[in-house]
Chain A
Amino acid sequence: MALLVDKLRPRSLEELTYHEELSKRLRSLAQCGDFPHLLVYGPSGAGKKTRVVATLKELFGPGVEKIKIDARVFMTSSNRKLEFNIVASVYHMEITPSDVGNYDRVVIQDLLKEVAQTQQVDQAARQKFKVVVINEAENLTRDAQAALRRTMEKYSPNLRLILLANSTSNIIAPIRSRTLLIRVAAPTHDDIRSILAAAAKKEDWPLVEGLNKRIAEESGRNLRKALLMFEAVHAQNEKVTDTTPIPVPDWEVLVGQIAKEITEDRTPARVMQVRAKFYDLLTHCIPASTIIKTLCFKVMPLVDDSLKPGVIHYAAMYEHRIKTGTKAIFHLEAYVLKIMKMVEEYLMSMDM
Chain B
Amino acid sequence: MPDIRTFFGAKGGASAPKPAPKQEEPAKKSRAKGRKVVEDSEEDEPVEVKKPTKPAPKKKTAAPTEVKGVEISASNYFASSKSNPAKTESSNTTPKATPNATPKATSKTQVRPGVEVRMSPRTKKTAEPAQNGKPTTQRKSTTAYQKHDQYDDDAFMDDDDDAGDDIYVPDSKRQKRKNDEYVEEESEEEFLPKPKRVASRADRPPKVEPEDDKPTPKKKAPAPAKKRKSPVTDSEEDEDIKPAKKAAPAKPRAPRAKKGPAEEPDDIKNILDNLPTVDAPDAPPKDPDAKFDWRKGGGGHASAPPMAGAAEIPGGEENCLMGKSFVFTGLLKTISREDGQALVKRYGGKVVTAPSSKTDFVVLGDDAGPSKLRKIKEHGIKTIDEQGLFYLIKTMPANGGTGVGAEKAKQKREEEERKIREEAAKMEEEEKARRAEAEKAAKKAAVARGTAPPAPSQPLSQLWTTKYAPTQISQICGNKGNVERIQSWLKDWPRNRKYDFKMRGSEGLGGYRAIIISGPPGIGKTTAAHLAAKIAGFDVLESNASDSRSKKLVENGVAEVMTNTSLLGYLAGDGKKVDSGKKNIVLIMDEVDGMSAGDRGGVAALAKFCKKTEVPLILICNERRLPKMKPFDHVAYDIKFQRPTVDQIRSRIMTICHREGLRLPPQVINALIEGTNKDIRQIINMLSTAKLDQKTMDFDQSKAMTKAWEKHVVLKPWDICQKLIGGGMFAASSKATLNDKIELYFNDHEFSYLMIQENYLKTKPHSLDTRGLSPREVRYKSLELAEQAADSISNGDLVDRMIHGPQQQWSLMPTHAVFSTVMPASFIAGSFTEQTTFTSWLGNNSKYGKLSRYVREIHSHMRLKASGDHNEVRQQYLPVIWQQLIKRLSVEGREAIQEAIELMDSYYLTRDDFDYIKELALGDCDEGKWPIETQTKAAFTRTYNGMSHPIPFMKASNVIAPKGKSKDMPDLEEAIEEEDDADLVEAVEADDDDELDLAKDKYIKQPKAKGKKATKKTTKADDDDEEDTGKAKAKAKPAAKGRGRPKKS
Contact = CB atoms under 8 A, between A and B. Distances in A.
Interface in B1009-1049: 1013, 1017, 1045
Given A49-B868, A96-B869, A325-B797, A285 B920 contact: yes
Interface string B827-857: 0000000000000110010011001100110
Contacts of A67: 864, 952
Interface stretch (B508-516, B537-545, B712-720, B879-887): B879-887
Contacts of A5: 866
B498 interface: no
B959 A70 contact: no
A1 interface: yes
B798 interface: yes
A85 B857 CA distance: 10
B923 A70 contact: no
Given A1-B902, A330-B797, A279 B840 contact: yes
Interface string B855-870: 1100011011111111
Contacts of A325: 794, 797-798, 800-801
Contacts of B957: 73
Given A49-B868, A67-B864, A330 B794 contact: yes
Determine the interface band of chain A, counting residues with CB < 8 A from chain B: 35 or more
A250 B779 contact: no
A9 interface: yes
A345 B851 contact: no
B844 A235 contact: no
Contacts of B879: 228, 232, 247, 249-251
Given A2-B907, A77-B962, A99-B856, A290 B800 contact: no
A341 B786 CA distance: 9
A327 B922 contact: no
B961 interface: yes
Contacts of B903: 1-3
A275 B759 CA distance: 12
Interface in B954-980: 954-962, 965, 967, 970
Given A72-B956, A331-B794, A285 B925 contact: no
B3 interface: no
B761 A330 contact: no
A69 B876 contact: no
Contacts of A331: 794, 797
B799 to A, nearest CB: 9
A284 B922 contact: yes
A87 B864 CA distance: 7
A329 B790 CA distance: 10
A72 B779 contact: no
A236 interface: yes
B875 interface: yes
Most buried by B among A77, A232, A247, A337: A337
B924 A224 contact: no
B69 to A, nearest CB: 54
A321 B1013 CA distance: 47
B921 interface: yes
A98 B852 CA distance: 13
Contacts of B956: 71-73, 83
B1016 to A, nearest CB: 10
Most buried by A among B777, B794, B800, B957: B794
A286 B923 CA distance: 13
Contacts of A254: 922-923
B39 interface: no
Interface in B879-917: 879-884, 899, 902-903, 906-907
Given A73-B956, A81-B959, A268-B783, A136 B869 contact: yes
A85 B783 contact: no
A127 interface: no
Most buried by B among A2, A98, A285, A333: A285
B628 interface: no
A331 B801 CA distance: 13
Interface in A321-340: 321, 324-327, 329-331, 333-334, 336-338, 340
Nearest to B776: A348
B869 A321 contact: no
B783 A69 contact: no
A155 B306 CA distance: 75
A2 B906 contact: yes
A124 interface: no
Contacts of B921: 250, 284
Interface string A52-74: 01000000000000011111111
A168 B925 CA distance: 35
A25 B798 CA distance: 44
Contacts of A45: 868, 872, 876
B757 interface: yes
A324 B790 CA distance: 17
B804 A70 contact: no
A224 B872 CA distance: 9
A250 B208 CA distance: 85
Interface string B782-798: 11101100110110111
A50 interface: yes
B151 interface: no
Interface string B661-705: 000000000000000000000000000000000000000000000
Interface string B162-173: 000000000000
Interface in A255-289: 257, 266-269, 271-272, 275, 279-287
Given A268-B761, A327-B841, A285 B848 contact: yes
B851 A284 contact: yes
Contact of A69 (B863, B906, B958): B863
A73 B958 contact: yes
Contacts of B790: 271, 330, 333-334, 336-338
Nearest to B784: A341
B851 A283 contact: yes
A44 interface: yes
Nearest to B879: A249
A340 B787 contact: yes
B783 A267 contact: yes
A318 to B, nearest CB: 7
A341 B787 contact: yes
B927 to A, nearest CB: 11
A306 to B, nearest CB: 17
B182 interface: no
A344 B874 contact: no
A231 interface: yes
Nearest to A343: B783
Given A279-B844, A325-B800, A337-B786, A235 B954 contact: no
Interface in B136-178: none
A14 B347 CA distance: 98
Contacts of B844: 279, 282-283, 329
Most buried by B among A71, A94, A275, A284: A284
B499 interface: no
A209 interface: no
A79 interface: yes
A330 B839 CA distance: 12
A11 interface: no
A252 B690 CA distance: 71
A175 B871 CA distance: 24
B877 interface: yes
Nearest to B867: A49
For the complex of A and B, 8 pairs with smallest distance between CB atoms:
A75-B961, A49-B867, A325-B797, A71-B956, A249-B879, A334-B790, A334-B794, A2-B906
Given A271-B790, A275-B761, 4 more contacts: A269-B761, A285-B871, A325-B797, A333-B793
29 contacts: A1-B899, A3-B881, A44-B868, A69-B952, A70-B954, A71-B954, A72-B956, A72-B960, A73-B960, A74-B961, A77-B965, A99-B856, A224-B867, A224-B876, A228-B877, A228-B879, A236-B883, A268-B761, A268-B782, A275-B761, A285-B870, A285-B871, A287-B871, A325-B800, A326-B801, A327-B797, A340-B783, A341-B784, A351-B776
